[in-house]
Amino acid sequence: MRPRGLATNLLTAAASLAVTAGAVETVARVAFRIVHGYPYAAHHAFLPDPALVYHNNPDYFVWAARPRVRDGFFFIPPLDDANPSQRLWILGGSTSAAQPDGSDWPAQLQDALADRAVRVVNMGHEGYGSSQLAGLWEHEHDRVRPASVVFFEGWNYRGALTSRRGFRPANAPSPFDGPLPRLSAALVDHSAAYGSAAAYLHKHSRRDPCGDTTRYPEMGAWEAELTAALARMARRDRVFLVLFPGLAMRDDVRPFLGRDWNQRCVAEHFAFYRAEYDDRLAVLERAAAASGALTLDARPAYRALPPDAHAACFRDFCHQTRAGNALLARTLRQELTRQGALPSG
């Protein structure tokens, strides 16, 4: 075949492939909107600050009815530089992240402080570990200008900036990913056909719904990273590290764990979850002592509950219900007030 004929055939094949792919993508986008009630673009409509390197998808579409609740890539009311309110800055993972219904504990803490000149600035973010929270503190500090920082860290360990084990959402590659994972993440972010197929395969693949139950192997590295981050922060701010509660922190809750997979996983692997929880808290206590960070111990309030009430505070190993978050907000408010970080009354 002559070179010109070969080139023509290749161009024709490429054009046909492009037309077919475009048709498939168009059908997939229409089908997605019919099934879910919102466009695929809204599913991943998220533009992070590139200086933070690693991003995530916070389900933008669930905030569609609240367009004013947005500050940068956080779903909180925008910061008002003219407002002289004292700012309490929350840094954490999904256990702190803002929810559209206001059920998260920072939102409930803000509601409880409505009559005080205090602004709770919640920058909790799904999947963020210590590396990402430290980067976020450095990047956003001068804009937030906090009076105090509440660091709610420990569920996600080191984070995806420094560890291959960090949480990576399907539409965002970690710094450790090669070309193929990066291509897959880009396709999930932009293609309804590919993203829907990937989600279907993930949902219907054979795997343990409880996930990995091997002990975290980077505890030493995480402790060093966390301690160093807290020390940097404590040299500049008044930093409080939360000693948080967990579903598996008490042996007597086992008979009261639910049958849905979230709590069932804890019941079936209780010894693992208990050991994981105890190890995390031991690291937090040592990191606080070594760095000069203050601690907010939320555990006594949960230990005082009957075991069935304690179990009812949690949706799974770490995420709480609205009632659990309300208890956490009250407890942290009391602790912050006792230590002078919030006005009394």
At 46-66, the pLDDT tens digits run 555 655 656 665 567 777 777
- Do the strands 294-297 and 86-92 form a parallel or antiparallel pair, or are they unpaired? unpaired
Q: Please write the tens of the pLDDT for every residue from 67-120.
A: 678 787 788 888 887 776 799 999 999 999 999 889 999 999 999 998 888 999
Buried residues in 243-281 as b, exposed as e (16+ CB within 10 A) = bbbbbbbbeebeeebeeeebbebbbebbebbbebbeebb
**H helices within the chain, ranges in order?**
3-36, 40-43, 105-112, 130-144, 179-190, 192-204, 219-234, 261-268, 270-291, 299-303, 307-312, 322-338
The percent of residues above 70 in pLDDT, for the chain, comes to 92
How far apart CA 150 and CA 113 sit, in angstroms, is 16
Closest CA to 132 of 101, 91, 181: 91
CA distances from 289 to 40, 88, 157, 228, 233 (A): 47, 22, 18, 12, 14
136: which residues sit within 8 A by CB, 6+ positions away? 52, 91, 123, 125, 128
Q: Tell me how long the chain is.
A: 345
Closest CA to 58 of 34, 106, 93: 93
What the chain holds in terms of domains, given with CATH numbers, is 42-338 (3.40.50.1110)
Token pair in block for residue 10: 């290749």
Q: Please write the tens of the pLDDT for every residue from 237-250.
A: 999 999 999 999 99
Token pair in block for residue 206: 């054979």
The residue with tokens 């997979």 is 261
pTM listed for this prediction: 0.90
How far apart CA 288 and CA 297 sit, in angstroms, is 12
Q: What is the DSSP string of 255-271?
A: GG--SSHHHHHHHHTHH
The mean pLDDT of the chain is 88
Token pair in block for residue 341: 């970080």
Q: Please, are residues 322 and 104 in contact by the beta-carbon 8 Å criterion? A: no
Does the structure show a pLDDT above 90 at 17?
no
Confidence of residue 38 (pLDDT cuts 50, 70, 90): confident
Q: Please, are residues 328 and 338 in contact by the beta-carbon 8 Å criterion? A: no
